[in-house]
Structure 1
Amino acid sequence: MNTVKQRIAIVGAGGLGREVLMLLLQINQATPKWEIVGFYDDAPSAHPTICGYPYLGTVDHLNDTETPLCVAIAIGNCAAKTDVADRLLSPLLKFPVLVHPSVLCNPEQKNHFGEGTIICQNCILTNNVTLGRHVLLNLACTIGHDAVLGDFCSLMPQVAVSGCVRLGAGVYGGTNSTILQNKKVGDFTIIGAGAVVNEDLPSYCTAVGVPARIIKQTA
């Protein structure tokens, strides 16, 4: 049976953009779904193609589309990702949830994913998990029961979020960091690689180490 593929563009022509390209290709191997049209990035590409797909223009050019187009925002920096999403205003642009085929997503888990969420290979989400808009879960993240991640969070590979954790908007979790059960992290806080969060953290700070300690406050 032939499946009509949906057109999709990737915003971000860097390393994460190439990883999202691989994610889309792996989804297509399981269920042919996406027609990948190319990349958009505010920094012009040094080459006309990225992994065989064309560089098509800047972020704002996406608003000029005359036909429906899906968009994957492949940007890890939370503030930059927020800015890009705020600029994409055309009603013809849609932001699908992208989930790697290795990730179990069954109705009985009662998980909820906001538009534009990207969940990469080998992630595990248990039950009653809520992910906001444009959340990125990179490779092999684990998200425990009843956790809530706000809009524009980005978790790098192997971040462990325990049960009942609350992450505000735009929280960045460095590779292999851990947030322990019931802890809260404020908006746009950065958790360093390998850090263990065993106390609540306020908004707009950077915390590193075991246990995580604040080294910088930005607001």
Structure 2
Amino acid sequence: MTQLFFSDHSIMEAAPPLVIFGAGGLGREVLLLLQQLNEAQPTWTIGGFYDDQPPSSPTVAGLPYLGTSADLNATTEPLAVVVAVGSPSGRAGVVRRLTAPQLSFPVLVHPGVALAAHQRVELGEGCIIQQGCILTCDIVLGSFVFLNLGCTVGHDATLGEFCSLMPHANVGGAAQLGTGVYLGTNATVIQGVCIGENALLGAGAVAVRDLPANVTAVGVPARVIKYNK
């Protein structure tokens, strides 16, 4: 996994054209994020949407549907891709399918989110950070982490690749989330708690102690109700 400090993403040279993989509701929200970024600093030329499940109409939010992952892999020119898939496993599956060397996966951070070099926040490729998120300092986000609206991440927290935080999820200081963890809306991981890979913490749940990998946990305090395949 390649990781760069946020300051390395702050200045871009001639960004390539960009497309969104995922033609559903999250794809339209990502389009809104891109439009907000362009309003703050014109950067991206947005070509349209790709999805392996074609939408019901030839356009999505006024932009064309362009094809499947196979079509995207056939591109011969440099192209930036944003993977707008909320499920960690679904997002990982898309990334595995997108193998063309011309494709790159930029970091997108809402212009209202404070991220300066002195915060020492490390971001992997393909991360998406939506409006209203708060990240403090000395934080590591692996590749393709998705923070939905209004999430908070405290000092020294580590989020593994493909983690998904739904709106207003909270990660306390020094907490550790393994690869592919999913936090539902308003879920909270208390300071110092470790969540195993591919675990799912339900909406509103509060993890006050470590959770193993591949489980679903709900409630306050969170308790395991299911072991996932």
Compute the TM-score of the two structures, normalised by the length of structure 2: 0.93
Contact 1:175 1:193 in 2 (8 A): yes
Contact 1:5 1:32 in 2 (8 A): no
Match of 2:174 among 159, 164, 167: 164
1:135 aligns with 2:145: yes
* Alpha-carbon distance between aligned partners in 1 of 2:65 and 2:196, rounded to the nearest angstrom: 36
Report the equivalent of 1:177.
Answer: 187
Provide structure 1 residue ranges, at least 5 long, that are not aligned to the other structure: none
What do the CA deviations read for 1:79-109 (whole angstroms, capped 9, x no partner)? 1111111111111000000000010110000
| 1:167 CA drift (Å) | 0.2
* Alpha-carbon distance between aligned partners in 1 of 2:217 and 2:69, rounded to the nearest angstrom: 31
Change (3 A) 1:218 1:5: closer
Report the equivalent of 2:41.
Answer: 31
Report the equivalent of 2:6.
Answer: none
Report the equivalent of 2:93.
Answer: 83
Alignment of 1:1-219 (within 5 A): 4=14, 6-219=16-229
* Misfit runs of 4+, over 2 Å: 3-6
Provide structure 2 residue ranges, at least 5 long, that are not aligned to the other structure: 1-12
How many residues align? The count is 217
* Alpha-carbon distance between aligned partners in 2 of 1:83 and 1:5, rounded to the nearest angstrom: 25
Aligned identity (percent) is 53
Q: Report the 3-state secondary structure (helix = DSSP H, G, I; strand = E; otherwise coil) of the residue aligned with 1:18.
A: helix
Q: Report the 3-state secondary structure (helix = DSSP H, G, I; strand = E; otherwise coil) of the residue aligned with 1:157.
A: coil
* Alpha-carbon distance between aligned partners in 2 of 1:60 and 1:134, rounded to the nearest angstrom: 20
| 1:60 CA drift (Å) | 2.2
Q: Report the 3-state secondary structure (helix = DSSP H, G, I; strand = E; otherwise coil) of the residue aligned with 1:34.
A: coil
* Alpha-carbon distance between aligned partners in 2 of 1:139 and 1:200, rounded to the nearest angstrom: 25
What do the CA deviations read for 1:105-164 (whole angstroms, capped 9, x no partner)? 100000000000000001000000100000000001000000000000000000010000
* Alpha-carbon distance between aligned partners in 2 of 1:70 and 1:151, rounded to the nearest angstrom: 19
* Alpha-carbon distance between aligned partners in 1 of 2:110 and 2:152, rounded to the nearest angstrom: 14
Contact 1:134 1:153 in 2 (8 A): yes
Contact 1:189 1:206 in 2 (8 A): yes
* Alpha-carbon distance between aligned partners in 1 of 2:97 and 2:37, rounded to the nearest angstrom: 27
User: Highest relative contact order (Cα 8 Å, sep 6+), 1 or 2?
Assistant: 2
Compute the TM-score of the two structures, normalised by the length of structure 1: 0.97
Q: Report the 3-state secondary structure (helix = DSSP H, G, I; strand = E; otherwise coil) of the residue aligned with 1:207.
A: strand
Contact 1:177 1:195 in 2 (8 A): yes
